[in-house]
A and B are shown apart, each in its own frame.
Chain A
């Protein structure tokens, strides 16, 4: 028997009613090991205006590069209490901010490790289906060898690499730019 995946529909403008219960802007609590980071940014539309009704979701491995998921069979430590899930709504000015730990490297295609990254889904009114992207890290030598990053044209790679905020230790900036010159690279993973 073969069915077809249900058609995606927009979250619309009122998703907070249903989705804010599982809002999570602190992905890793103090009991979880790893380098503490705070990632802040904005969601910007095609007119350069902030999007006030978007939400991003994060999926990430722990600092050892292990996912809290039964299919990750790597022999690496997994702290109880680490889920790796974030749900971060934007505010009226399109800003979001979340705290987590920098993930370790996870295996990638052809048996080669991937550079540390967060998987990101972007939802908002106006998007019939989510946008998928990734956040990579600055000053990370492994970026040069990363299979997914290397599928992106070199001049667009910076859109999926967070920038260090020099004013604060562990603070990173990363924006979702929906259209235009600095349009964020979005990935096709199916849905």
Chain B
């Protein structure tokens, strides 16, 4: 087997460091020793693949998982998973989770004094189509307080988990909403030095995917690491 073309390393500043002091939980959980840089081998350029058999075809709609409809503002969240070369990432698994419209997660650890919604679990998944498109129907999650610092609030967000073609392309991120006044004060949003990179986490309001009389549309494209054009010498 010849040399392996690896995946591109991130542009400086566009990814967070592990330690981000304003995010208090990172202080005791981020490594203190420098990471050991390794070349991409067959291990890193391959990765788990998920087929149709591992998805529930109804799981794209978070508003139809219970007997009744969840409370809150229905929204459509859609976009494409692309690589840095703007090529679609087809048939890859996208998983999401989120708080309900009151800003409460259906999780035993979440002690926020806001109501649970019996009609909302807050999880969904889907495979991208041949052109890298995905689409979810959900409700707009609420903002919520947390204990990071005095009067700390998380901006409204939806968690995204994406695999892509390789172990090296695995990505977990969060999507935010345009115009949310909490965004500039959110230490998690602000953990990335590059302002443009941060702002790409904010979805775009989208008339084209808005359904009249039904749901507002938000677009959120996810970019995974792109392939190096030629094999790298180690």
A interface with B by C-beta (< 8 Å): 1-19, 21-22, 45-47, 51, 53, 57, 59, 61, 67-74, 83-85, 106-111, 114, 117, 119, 121, 123-131, 147-148, 151-152, 156, 178-180, 183-191
Complex CA distance for A70 and B46, rounded to whole angstroms: 8
Instruction: Indicate if B9 sits at the interface (CB-CB under 8 A).
Output: yes
Q: Shortest distance in angstroms between A163's beta carbon and chain B's nearest beta carbon?
A: 20
Within 8 A of A (CB), among B52-91: 54, 82-86
Consensus secondary structure, chain B interface: loop
Q: Are B23 and A126 in contact (CB under 8 A)?
A: yes
Contact (A178, B43) CB under 8 Å given A59-B48, A85-B48? no
Contact for A128 among B32, B47, B188, CB less than 8 A: B188
Residues in B neighbouring A109, C-beta threshold 8 A: 39, 41, 234
**Residue among A7, A84, A186 facing the most chain B CB atoms (10 A cut-off):** A7
Complex CA distance for A108 and B189, rounded to whole angstroms: 37
Q: Shortest distance in angstroms between A180's beta carbon and chain B's nearest beta carbon?
A: 8
Instruction: Indicate if B128 sits at the interface (CB-CB under 8 A).
Output: no
B interface with A by C-beta (< 8 Å): 1, 6-11, 14-18, 20, 23, 25-33, 35-50, 54, 82-86, 93, 95-97, 99, 105-107, 109-110, 121-125, 159, 161, 165-174, 188-189, 191-192, 197-198, 200-201, 222-226, 234
Q: Shortest distance in angstroms between B60's beta carbon and chain A's nearest beta carbon?
A: 13
Looking across the interface, which residue of chain B has its beta carbon closest to that of A118? B43
Q: Are B40 and A7 in contact (CB under 8 A)?
A: no
Contact (A152, B192) CB under 8 Å given A13-B109, A15-B159, A83-B49? no
Contact for B18 among A9, A67, A127, CB less than 8 A: A127
